[in-house]
Structures are given as C-alpha cells and as structure tokens.
A and B are shown apart, each in its own frame.
Chain A
Amino acid sequence: MDSAKRLGRRLLPQFIALALILALIWMVFPAFFSLEMQNGRLYGSLIDVLNRGAPVALLAVGMTVVIATKGIDLSVGAVMAICGAVAAASSVRGDPLVLTLALAIGTGLICGLWNGFLVAVLNIQPIIATLVLMVAGRGIAQLVTEGAILTFNDPGLIYIGSGSFAFLPMPVITWLVFGIAVAVLLRRTALGMLIEAIGINRRASTLSGIQTPVLLMAAYMLSGFCAALAGLIVTADIKGADANNAGLWLELDAILAVVVGGTSLLGGRFSIIASLVGAMIIQAINTGILLSGFPRNST
C-alpha cells in the first residue's frame, strides 16, 4: 500500500507528460483513440504507439539498470543488429525456432558479457567501453549476413514481430511482460538496492562486501539480453536482417527514455516502470508527428 503510493508519486510527472502529449495529438488527429477489432487483434493509433515503441521500451529496461550503476551502454543498437543477423542466419539454415531464439539471445548475453568485462574488470569508462561494440558491432552483423539483407520465412520467427496474442500485437506483450518481470525481480530481491548502492558509491559498496564486478557484468548482460529481444522483434517484423539499419540510433532513444523516466545519468535510484513510460512518451511524440501529417515539402 505504502510502496504503491510511493510508486504513484514517482510516476506522476511522467504520466502527466504522457497525458498532455496524447491530448495534443488528439486535438490534431481526433481519430487517435479509436480502436477496432480485426482478425482477433486490436487496431488503432494507440496500439501502434505501444507496438512501435516495443524496441525502445525493451532497450530502456536494460539501459535503466546499466545507468543505475553509473554506466551507459551505447552498443545496444549494434547488438540488436548482430542478434537479428544471427537469428536470420540461423532461420535461413533451417534451425528449429528454439535454437534460433537461443542463439540470438546467447549472442546478446555474450555481447553484454564483453561490455561488462571491459567496465567491471578492466575498469574502462562505460561510455568508451561500450563504444567499441557500437562501432564494431555493425561490422560483425555484416559478417554474419555476408553483406546482404538476409530474408527468411519461418512463420514462428515472424510471429514474434507481427503475431498477436490476447488481442494485442506480440511485441506489446513482450515488452510489457518482460519489463514488469524485470522490475519485480529487481525489487523483490535485493538486486535493486545493491545496484543502486554500486551506482552511488562503487568503492563504499565494494568495502561493504558487495560483489561489485559480478553485479556490473550482470547489468550489462541484462542490457545485452534486452537488445537481443529488441533485435528479434525488429528482424521478425521486416522478415529480414538488415545489418546496416536494424536498431540504428536506438541506443540514443533508449537513453532518452531512461532520462525522461527520471533516472539520473549519474547513477543510483532507478525505476524501470518509469523508463517504460518514458519510452511510450517518445513513441507517442513520434507517432503524433507522423499522424499530424505534415507533408515533407509543405511550407
């Protein structure tokens, strides 16, 4: 009860911002809130916002935890491309869906492990450490796809990007379930507090007996995992792996979502739910601008 009230007060500014933006879009585009049911799935601009915002929302989950440790992960966009490429290549080879997913997510975890190793063990500044993979990652993705856009037509994999479940598109279900699961995991265990402690004062945390390197690596691995999920969704959505454009600049959107969600870039106190709302705020603005329909060559 008490904690619910605290969460409400924490999220109030984000919800007010979201409401204002939705109201603004509604004034320009009155049909914004209309929903209709087709083929057992809801359609409408609102659903569009939730659906298109899925990659950023997923990235924001991992990014929140990394930023809470006083770090940053610039590589998520490139990791999305790598994981998408790995999934597409695996699908093209004819691997079963489970193996494809495992390979993609395993790749994301390895990328996270690499970042975590640079940050936690070699003590490289996070912004530099993750820049390595940001720059090199697209090259790796190109290697996997051998320079082409790998297309596939495994219906199982495509379902992740454009299927629907319980009247909602799959990506919406994915980020909602995953985001809330991570938030609950961090708050029901002591992980959340320990991560905040590391972000606020790493040395004092180590002196208190916290396994700082292990937790830091875990944070970057979570970010890699999120990037893998986002990469799968983007790849499945277009039924092909585009090493050059999948997840391009999405790391910046994810960081923005975390900041809009009110988590300080200096580390410490964080809220995953707030970051998810932040991601939706960004997507609502994007969709709103498109819907208000200014042709590019007008004015």
Chain B
Amino acid sequence: MGLDPERLAILRFLWRISVAVRKLRMTYVFLKAGTMQTHSENILAASGIVKTFPGAIALNAVDFALRRGEVHALLGENGAGKSTLIKCMTGAYRRDSGGLMLDGIEIDPRDTLDAQKLGIGTVYQEVNLLGNLSVAENIFLGRQPRRFGLVHTSEMNRRAKALLSEYGIDINVSSALESYSVAIQQVVAIARAVDLSGKVLILDEPTASLDAQEVEMLFRIVRGLKEKGLGIVFITHFLEQVYDLSDRITVLRNGRLVGTRDTASLPRRELVTMMLGHELLAAEKDVRQTETQAGPVHFRFSNYGKTGSIKPFDLEVRKGEVVGIAGLLGSGRTETAELLFGIEKADSGTAEISGKPANLSSPRAAIANRFGFCPEDRKTDGIIGDLSVRENIALALQARQGWARPLSQAQQNALADHYITALDIRTSDREKPIRLLSGGNQQKAILARWLATNPEFLILDEPTRGIDVGAHAEIIRLIEDLCAKGLSLVVISSELEELVAYSSRILVLRDRAHVAELNGAEITTDNIVSAIAASGISKGAA
C-alpha cells in the first residue's frame, strides 16, 4: 500500500488540532494555578481524608495542611495512619473521600507517577532507586536528555553534577549508585524528587539508617530546600530530630487526627501524651497486683542483650505476673520480644528458668521451654493465611510433637472447637482459611495456637493493634484470665491505659535500652510518659 497524499494531509491536520488542544488545556491549567496560587498559604492541604480497608478504618476524617517553606513532622505510633495518609497524598492509594488541594487546585493523583508530575515527591527509608545504575541515570531515569533519539550521556552527567552541587555534594555521577553510602543515596533520591516534582517533598523515615554526621548533612540539605519554599513532610520516630528540624507537628493516633501544633510551643511530654494516651486519666493501680508479686521469680534473664539490637537488660518474671513493656516505636520493644523468644540470639547474659540455665537459641528451643510468642505483625509472622482456622490452631502443638506423631483429625477438631468457643473466635466454621477472618479473630486464633501448647511464658507483642474496639476489650479480659491461671506474660503495647490496667510491673524502653521499671503504685500512664520523655536530660546520668 502506497501512502495516499490526501489521507496524509488529513492525518497531519488532525494531529495539529490535537496538539493545539493539548497546548490550550495546559495553558488553562497553568493560568488557573497562577491565579489561585497567590491566595493559598498552604501548598498542600488535605481535608477530611477517609480511607478504609476491609475490616478497618485506616484514616478517619484526617485534616493535614502543609505550608510553603516549612518542615512539618508527621508523627504517630505504628498503625496510627501516617503511611496511609502519605500514600493517599502520593497516589499510592486512592482515598475514599475527602479533598486534596495542591497550590489551591483540587487534585486526585491516580498513581505515584501522577503525583510526582503534579509536584509531590517522596523519598523512602529504603532508597527505592536502582543501585546498579549510575547516579546520573538514577536522577534522570525516565527523562534522560536525548540527542538523535539516543541518551545524551555527557549532557546527563553534566546536569546531574550541577544538580548535586546545589546540595553541596561533589561525587562522580557516572559511578553506580550502590557504591555510595546510604546518606548519599538519600541525597540523590531527594535531588531526583525535588528536580522532578519541586513543590512538596515527603521524607519517610529518612534518617533511620544514618549516623549522626550523615543526619546533620541531610538536615542541612532539608533546611536549604525549606528556604527555597518547598513544603516538606518529615516522618520519623526520633523525637530529638523532630525538635531539631521541624516547624510544626501533626500527630495521628488510631487513624484519627490528634492535633497540629507549633513545635516551639509543644513540650516533649505533651507530644508523647498526644502520641500514646487519650487523656491522662490517671488510671491508678488497684491493690490486687501487689499480691501476686509474692511468688518466687520463675524466669530470670540477667544482663541479656544483643549488640546492635538491644542493650543488655535484666528481667524477672514470676508465675501469674504480667510484665508490661512500654516505649515508643523503635525503642527496642520488639527487639526485646525477639530476643526472649530466640528469634534473635543473645550475645550476652544468661536466661534461667526456675534457677536452671535455659537454652533459648531459636524459636523451637524457646517453645521446648514452654514459651509462646504472638508477634506484632500478624500477617507476616503469625497467620498461615491459606490454612484453615483448625490447622492454624493445631500448628504449634503439632510442630512440637513432630511430624511422625500427627494429631488426628478428631483431636484437631476438638482443639479448634474448644478454642473457638473459649476465646469466642468468630468464624463460620473451623475449616475457613484464616486469612478471611477479621484482625481480632486472627489474633485470637494465634493466641489459641499458643494456648494449645500449654505454655508457661507467653510474649504478646501489641496484642490489641489494628483490631476493633469490641475485640480489644475481649483480648484484655483474656490477658487477665491467663495471668489468673498462673501463666507468666510479657506484654508489649503502645496503649498505655491497657498496660496500666493489667500489668503488675512495667519496664520502660528508650533508645534500645531498658531505662526504668515501675512497680505497684508507681504504675500510672503519667509516670510512663515521664520515663519515656525523660530523654536528653537523664542521658548523661544513665
């Protein structure tokens, strides 16, 4: 088929029209942006954001406003909704309802690429760039300068070098990204995000894997960007850094907005209260727990620790005692649990059970000592999603018995039925795959898995996280029942009221070390918050 010149002309004409229309539309958007820009003080404003997942409300009518040229810290414990909010703003999730305004224009990013084009760039804790490509290629990935249809490498390197020198960094941009430190990679990621988006920069725990000097370098760069008028959202769990860098703080808790405050006028104690407690209803201890302390110490960990994970600590647990562990995210709560259960091997100290040294070098060894562990992350560490409720409950007992001595179908059924009734696990039948259950019921099934092994020492890491209010109360009731039956429990929770309600002792963690132990009448949410917030002041002394 030869080319029909007439048809060609028509095609060319149509093409021109479409180009013209596109140009007109762009101009319109820019004009609109230009007129609105002057009116809005906020560069990014989210109002009434709602996001639900099956069985849970992740964000409940959350407002968030980011001003031009400010560093805004977004704080909250795990599951508070920080990352969900960020994902709604960067287009990784579509919000269910609520408005999102960028520069005064309503936006609805379809995906992260869309958000980047609109002007919202994100840098994550694990740099999500391509380590095997060069620094310059990473910065210009997907938009490399071209010449004759091919990548113009020298131009790209020149521009990358110029871009990075603005951040005070002089490196060889043609070397692979992975040959540089994480800090440099972070800066490259920031440079890419700012160059690509240029209005809003979201830093998701950027300092988690940096040392003090690198943090200082990063902060210098962030302050520079702030001067240029970017809005910067800063997510971290290091409170020092929040006070060091941020202008304002927004705190989320359980998917709700707790408040937005100026950093300068927010005392650290009050911030911790905002993150952890509802109101400090001084939930006083009743006398009953003091009675249980009479028994002898059954489990004793002395100088137990692991380098780089948690500093050596002492822990004594009596029979029928609940020891609570409190601390902020990243303070070493989960690390403590993993050490006690043998997921991580201790490299110092000893463990004793009723006076005899015990081997806790692996989960299996810990289970042999009648330990049990309900992990914080049910999905990845707890449930076996496709297996039935029955099989999930029977699993730990079966694993301890060994494969050659199977629990018969009838035994498994009896076990499952017993715990489904005893713990009130709501499921249509015991053969339902456990992944179809709601969070609270999954949690109860995992608890049942351990109770079936008849444990003596049970570690619960955030037993009430991400489950609805009704199930919440039931799990607390279960914890009280178990300790009445003589079980020793270690419970990690960021819900301070809960800890106060059932713990006979509370250990407080900060910066991967055990810093305080509260007994008897000392156990109040007030004291816990003080111990967590004591921070910088007592650091020299400790």
User: Does B382 make an interface contact (CB < 8 A)?
Assistant: yes
User: Does A191 make an interface contact (CB < 8 A)?
Assistant: yes
Chain A residues positioned under 8 Å from B384 (CB to CB): 196-197, 200-201, 204-205
Chain A residues positioned under 8 Å from B155 (CB to CB): none
User: Does B211 make an interface contact (CB < 8 A)?
Assistant: no
Q: In the complex where A197-B384, A197-B387, A201-B380 touch, is A209 in contact with B403 (Cβ < 8 A)?
A: no
**Contact, CB under 8 Å: A209 / B364:** yes
Q: How far is the CB of B107 from chain A (nearest CB, A)?
A: 37
Chain A residues positioned under 8 Å from B386 (CB to CB): 196, 200, 268-269
Q: How far is the CA of A269 from the CA of B387 in the complex (A)?
A: 8
B365-412 with Cβ < 8 A to chain A: 367, 373, 375, 380-387, 391, 394-396, 398-407, 409
Chain A residues positioned under 8 Å from B449 (CB to CB): 208
**Contact, CB under 8 Å: B381 / A197:** no
**Contact, CB under 8 Å: B385 / A200:** yes
User: Does A245 make an interface contact (CB < 8 A)?
Assistant: no
Q: How far is the CA of A109 from the CA of B284 in the complex (A)?
A: 64
Q: In the complex where A203-B380, A209-B367 touch, is A197 in contact with B391 (Cβ < 8 A)?
A: yes
**Contact, CB under 8 Å: A209 / B400:** yes
Q: How far is the CB of A199 from chain B (nearest CB, A)?
A: 9
Chain A, interface SS category: helix
Chain B residues positioned under 8 Å from A209 (CB to CB): 363-364, 367, 396, 399-400
A174-195 with Cβ < 8 A to chain B: 188-191, 193-194
Q: Which chain B residue shows the least CB distance to A207? A: B363
Q: How far is the CA of A204 from the CA of B386 in the complex (A)?
A: 13
Q: How far is the CA of A207 from the CA of B343 in the complex (A)?
A: 8
Q: How far is the CB of B215 from chain A (nearest CB, A)?
A: 31
**Contact, CB under 8 Å: B387 / A196:** yes
User: Does A206 make an interface contact (CB < 8 A)?
Assistant: yes
Chain A residues positioned under 8 Å from B405 (CB to CB): 190
Q: How far is the CA of A209 from the CA of B363 in the complex (A)?
A: 6
Q: How far is the CA of A208 from the CA of B343 in the complex (A)?
A: 11
User: Does A211 make an interface contact (CB < 8 A)?
Assistant: yes
User: Does A210 make an interface contact (CB < 8 A)?
Assistant: yes
B188-215 with Cβ < 8 A to chain A: none
Q: How far is the CB of B502 from chain A (nearest CB, A)?
A: 24
Q: How far is the CB of A272 from chain B (nearest CB, A)?
A: 16
**Contact, CB under 8 Å: A200 / B387:** yes
Q: How far is the CA of A196 from the CA of B409 in the complex (A)?
A: 16
**Contact, CB under 8 Å: B367 / A201:** no
Chain B residues positioned under 8 Å from A205 (CB to CB): 384, 395, 399
Q: How far is the CA of A34 from the CA of B367 in the complex (A)?
A: 60
Chain A residues positioned under 8 Å from B395 (CB to CB): 193, 197, 205, 208, 210
**Other-chain residue from B341, B380, B383, B399 in contact with A210 (beta carbon distance below 8 A):** B399
Q: How far is the CA of A194 from the CA of B401 in the complex (A)?
A: 12
**Contact, CB under 8 Å: B363 / A206:** yes
Chain B residues positioned under 8 Å from A188 (CB to CB): 406
Q: In the complex where A188-B406, A194-B403 touch, is A211 in contact with B364 (Cβ < 8 A)?
A: yes
Range of interface residues on chain B?
20 to 34
**Residue of A3, A188, A208 with most chain B CB atoms under a 10 A cut-off:** A208
Chain B residues positioned under 8 Å from A201 (CB to CB): 380, 383-385
**Contact, CB under 8 Å: A193 / B380:** no
**Contact, CB under 8 Å: A189 / B387:** no
Q: How far is the CB of A173 from chain B (nearest CB, A)?
A: 27
**Other-chain residue from A3, A189, A193, A196 in contact with B404 (beta carbon distance below 8 A):** A189
**Residue of B380, B382, B386, B402 with most chain A CB atoms under a 10 A cut-off:** B386
Q: How far is the CB of A197 from chain B (nearest CB, A)?
A: 5
Chain A residues positioned under 8 Å from B367 (CB to CB): 208-209
Q: How far is the CA of A193 from the CA of B402 in the complex (A)?
A: 12
Q: How far is the CB of B122 from chain A (nearest CB, A)?
A: 28
**Contact, CB under 8 Å: A191 / B403:** yes
**Contact, CB under 8 Å: A204 / B382:** yes
Q: Which chain A residue shows the least CB distance to B367? A: A209
Q: How far is the CA of A210 from the CA of B398 in the complex (A)?
A: 9
**Contact, CB under 8 Å: B407 / A190:** yes
**Contact, CB under 8 Å: B398 / A193:** yes
**Contact, CB under 8 Å: A194 / B399:** yes
Q: How far is the CA of A211 from the CA of B400 in the complex (A)?
A: 9
Q: How far is the CA of A204 from the CA of B381 in the complex (A)?
A: 4
Q: How far is the CA of A206 from the CA of B363 in the complex (A)?
A: 7
Q: How far is the CA of A208 from the CA of B386 in the complex (A)?
A: 16
A196-238 with Cβ < 8 A to chain B: 196-197, 200-201, 203-211, 215
Q: Which chain A residue shows the least CB distance to B362? A: A206
Q: How far is the CA of A282 from the CA of B334 in the complex (A)?
A: 50
Q: How far is the CB of A284 from chain B (nearest CB, A)?
A: 30
Chain A residues positioned under 8 Å from B401 (CB to CB): 190
Q: How far is the CB of A146 from chain B (nearest CB, A)?
A: 42
**Other-chain residue from B380, B394, B402 in contact with A204 (beta carbon distance below 8 A):** B380
Q: How far is the CB of B302 from chain A (nearest CB, A)?
A: 25
Q: How far is the CA of A3 from the CA of B343 in the complex (A)?
A: 37
B393-436 with Cβ < 8 A to chain A: 394-396, 398-407, 409
Q: How far is the CA of A208 from the CA of B367 in the complex (A)?
A: 8
Q: How far is the CB of A88 from chain B (nearest CB, A)?
A: 36
Chain B residues positioned under 8 Å from A203 (CB to CB): 380-381
B462-480 with Cβ < 8 A to chain A: none
**Residue of A191, A205, A207 with most chain B CB atoms under a 10 A cut-off:** A207
Q: Which chain B residue shows the least CB distance to A188? A: B406
Q: Which 10 A-B pairs have the closest CB atoms?
A: A190-B406, A209-B399, A209-B367, A210-B399, A208-B396, A190-B403, A191-B403, A268-B386, A197-B384, A200-B384
Having A206-B363, A211-B399, A268-B386, one finds 7 other A-B pairs with CB under 8 Å, namely A190-B404, A190-B407, A193-B391, A196-B384, A196-B387, A197-B384, A269-B386
A-B contact pairs, 26 of them (CB 8 A): A3-B409, A189-B406, A190-B403, A190-B404, A190-B405, A193-B387, A193-B391, A193-B395, A193-B398, A194-B399, A200-B385, A200-B386, A200-B387, A201-B383, A203-B380, A204-B384, A205-B395, A207-B341, A208-B363, A209-B363, A209-B364, A209-B367, A210-B364, A210-B395, A211-B364, A268-B386
